[in-house]
Structure 1
């Protein structure tokens, strides 16, 4: 391989800088979901079954603490059973509003609640479910994130999904003040395509899209600025993305499945930081490819993760494709040019 001192210096400097950034960056949030051995009636009500589940932390701005905290609270609970994943979400709201009523309408054009699930955590083949206060569902599937071309598959349906909305107030009635709306959901594992085992973890995140409203002629409408443009929506999430884009699955939270009726109190997987470090290289390579039309073939032989030096092994390096891996504890973590990340045993 030809040696290019300046290129090596640039890449090594990038890796060193990214290590500092990773040390400062918080890991995604963790939620421990308890097992429920009886079915849940999906009716939009918070019944006694939900008492065994903990509330999540309150949602934050999608960009994290660089933006103001949301002025309305959003939080969730989760449980799981033999056949379904259960979700309960609480959305504080003084003016409950919705317009869209047909399945697969573009629901985020209303105020909505959104669920993103990547069971194996490889950032590919994940699903998104959106719901508004009319209980209108948009469900879709992406083989890859939008940044890698998707494509969006709107014909995918979460078969046998059960959802209900609870209203603590009235919908589309500007003359009163509401309190909240509740989303309750039972998502069959058969529609996800896999069943978790106790101790497994999935990558999941939740988002709330919220528009400020005006009342015109007794009807809600999205608030506009002085140039008659609709004000940008708020994007409030459980685990902050650091970017106004939910389709960065590597930034989603970790949901651990408990062995029993009590949460596991699990913390992050041991490779959580290592994955973020590998993704720093992925972001660098994407930027390099956009500028040069090929990937940077000069790769450092070692990288530092939390003060631990590990060898970076190049499995494939071509102008338009690459695969690298690192050894982390008893496994290899692999990453390829389209952002797919996976592990193999040693």
Structure 2
């Protein structure tokens, strides 16, 4: 079985070292964010077509954290879920996927800053790493269950297990809403999301293939950023918008995640910001 899009079409992005620390307040107004290169405007996850509202993202890093920022245009900002690990995809949300050699991590955040986390491990690779040594990643954990993707049934790599009891240690998220949540009488500008992922917590992804934490200059990771909407702009709008389209309604295809290349240099022009 082939993947739904050619791997050579996957975009590459350079993530620069943050010249100054991010504020971590969700506003994305720190000098490092103003200097960071933005992604292209997100496109429809399935068709790759242009989207009705603007969405972009940027990635930075330092010795302690991977930093991710989302900018979302949205005239009506909505959210309903407030309990951690609720089914955030039922709200408007942003999603971050980080892939290692044998596993990948998923994070979802809504406008209330409610988070949902899962770690997925490819079954054929499970025995090659000490996943059993992490209690939340034991296959007999009550929140572990087989997972076959969302729209691409039968991934070429075979079956995988989702560990819904997994929480990434030290994760930080923040949301800033430019408007009023859940008030259709107000026209909002949109919302922003800021995420800080500790490198020290990503050993579960990095250790199987020995990648460095934090990354070395020139190292490359597969990282996907997307946005899902409860209100569709047109019948042709899938409701899922992404940095890199997958050609199918399924975010869980690590081979199609953008290639993020880490540079030890600050963003171009950072000193002038």
Q: What is the TM-score when the length of structure 2 is the normalising length?
A: 0.76
Deviation at 1:37, TM superposition (A): 5.0
| C-alpha distance in structure 1 between counterparts of 2:175 and 2:253, whole Å | 28
**Equivalent residue, structure 2, for 1:153:** 163
Which of 160, 177, 200 is equivalent to 1:190?
A: 200
Over the aligned positions, Cα root-mean-square deviation in angstroms equals: 2.4
Which of 14, 34, 39 is equivalent to 1:56?
A: 39
Moved over 4 A (4+): none
| C-alpha distance in structure 2 between counterparts of 1:73 and 1:232, whole Å | 14
Query: Contact between 1:211 and 1:232, CA under 8 Å: does it hold in 2?
Result: no
Residues 233-255 of structure 1, C-alpha deviations (whole Å, 9 max, x = no match): 60100011111111111111100
**Equivalent residue, structure 1, for 2:227:** 208
Q: Does 1:245 align with 2:250?
A: yes
| C-alpha distance in structure 2 between counterparts of 1:173 and 1:211, whole Å | 15
Tell me, what secondary structure is at the counterpart of 2:78?
Answer: coil
Tell me, what secondary structure is at the counterpart of 2:162?
Answer: coil
| C-alpha distance in structure 2 between counterparts of 1:178 and 1:37, whole Å | 31
Tell me, what secondary structure is at the counterpart of 2:34?
Answer: helix
Which segment is superposed worse, 186-195 or 128-137?
Answer: 186-195
Which of 231, 235, 241 is equivalent to 1:236?
A: 241
**Equivalent residue, structure 2, for 1:139:** 117
**Equivalent residue, structure 1, for 2:191:** 181
Q: Does 1:125 align with 2:108?
A: no
The count of corresponding residues between Structure 1 and Structure 2 is 223
Q: Does 1:168 align with 2:178?
A: yes
Q: Structure 2: which 5+ residue stretches go unaligned?
A: 123-146, 149-153, 207-212, 269-273
Distance 1:149-1:37 versus aligned 2 partners, 3 A rule: same
Q: What is the TM-score when the length of structure 1 is the normalising length?
A: 0.60
Deviation at 1:33, TM superposition (A): 0.5
Tell me, what secondary structure is at the counterpart of 1:152?
Answer: strand
Query: Contact between 2:223 and 2:259, CA under 8 Å: does it hold in 1?
Result: yes
Aligned pairs (5 A) from 1:261-280: 261-262=266-267
Deviation at 1:159, TM superposition (A): 1.1
Structure with higher Rg: it is 1
Tell me, what secondary structure is at the counterpart of 1:82?
Answer: coil
Which of 110, 119, 127 is equivalent to 2:91?
A: 110
Query: Contact between 2:22 and 2:32, CA under 8 Å: does it hold in 1?
Result: yes
